[in-house]
């Protein structure tokens, strides 16, 4: 009788909920963590900006917590990227390839959140440009990408300035690079390298599309 009672008592105890990592959770958390770091936001500041606890956000980034749609929307708006960024198309590449190689036409569109009139465009379409990430992810010390610019388009009327270094290579067309007030015209095949702490901007001065390949280090996204 005592043994039976012990077994019944043991069976009656509620089991503790165990948080488990899943492939989806881990991938989502990795994307959020990489983007947060690329924006130069600490976990403490991230918690303040999203009005969520540090522990909760840390759990998301480690793949232990799956955020609600509402929380994911807040996170995307805080990091300035559309929700779709956190769910990239899965690669069917074998082994290490998915971590080191981006095949043609597989670059990820940098679709920003809250951009344009009323925040409705979600990208730099209103500037006449399309930005693509050509690095496998944002985890390295450097990233590279590609920008397509329609005729007459530009980065905007205000020069940008931030710590770092970049390389621009013109794959197609012609652009005008303004660097600390000095203007340079770059044509197909030309390359420029400069410190991004210098006020800079560029625009497509041709009557056709321009395509730029660029690199940036360190990985700090400015938008």
**Is it true that 20-90 and 101-223 share their CATH fold?**
no
Distance of alpha carbon 63 from the chain centroid: 18
Is residue 178 a contact partner of residue 202, using CB atoms and an 8 Å limit? yes
| pLDDT by position in tens, the chain (length 223) | 444 444 334 444 444 433 555 788 888 899 899 999 988 899 999 999 999 999 999 999 999 988 888 898 899 889 888 777 787 776 666 778 878 888 888 888 877 655 444 444 445 666 788 889 999 888 888 999 999 999 999 887 788 888 899 999 999 999 999 999 999 999 999 999 999 999 999 999 899 999 999 999 988 776 5
In CATH terms, the superfamily for domain 101-223 is Jelly Rolls (2.60.120.10)
How far apart are the C-alpha atoms of 126 and 115, rounded to whole Å? 9
- The pLDDT of residue 160 is 86
pTM of the model: 0.70
Q: Is there a contact between 197 and 162 (Cβ–Cβ < 8 Å)?
A: yes
What's residue 13's pLDDT?
45
The predicted structure's pLDDT at residue 122: 46
Is 20-90 assigned to CATH 1.10.260.40? yes
Q: Could you tell me if residue 114 is left (phi over 0), alpha (psi between -120 and 50 degrees) or otherwise beta?
A: left
Distance CA 216, CA 223 (A): 14
What pLDDT, on a 0 to 100 scale, did the predictor assign at position 68? 85
Q: How far is CA 25 from CA 57, 103, 139, in A?
A: 12, 25, 18
How many Cβ atoms sit within 10 Å of the Cβ of residue 60?
Answer: 21
Domain ranges of the chain: 20-90, 101-223
What's residue 22's pLDDT? 76
């Amino acid at each position: 009788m005592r043994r039976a009672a012990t077994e019944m008592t043991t069976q009656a105890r509620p089991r503790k909920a165990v948080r488990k990592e899943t492939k989806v959770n881990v991938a989502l958390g990795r994307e959020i963590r990489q983007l947060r770091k690329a924006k130069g936001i600490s976990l403490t500041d991230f918690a303040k900006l999203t009005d969520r606890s540090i522990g909760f956000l840390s759990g998301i980034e480690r793949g232990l917590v799956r955020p609600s749609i509402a929380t994911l929307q807040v996170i995307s708006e805080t990091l300035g990227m559309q929700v779709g960024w956190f769910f990239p198309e899965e690669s069917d590449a074998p082994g290490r390839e998915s971590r080191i190689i981006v095949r043609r036409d597989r670059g990820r569109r940098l679709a920003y959140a809250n951009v344009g009139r009323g925040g409705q465009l979600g990208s730099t379409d209103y500037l006449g440009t399309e930005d693509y990430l050509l690095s496998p992810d944002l985890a390295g010390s450097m990233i590279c990408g590609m920008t397509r610019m329609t005729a007459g388009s530009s980065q905007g009327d205000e020069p940008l300035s931030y710590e770092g270094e970049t390389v621009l290579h013109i794959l197609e067309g012609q652009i005008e690079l303004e660097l600390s007030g000095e203007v340079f015209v770059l044509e197909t095949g030309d390359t420029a390298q400069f410190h991004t702490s210098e006020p800079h901007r560029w625009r497509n001065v041709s009557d056709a599309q321009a395509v730029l390949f660029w690199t940036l280090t360190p990985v700090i996204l400015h938008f």
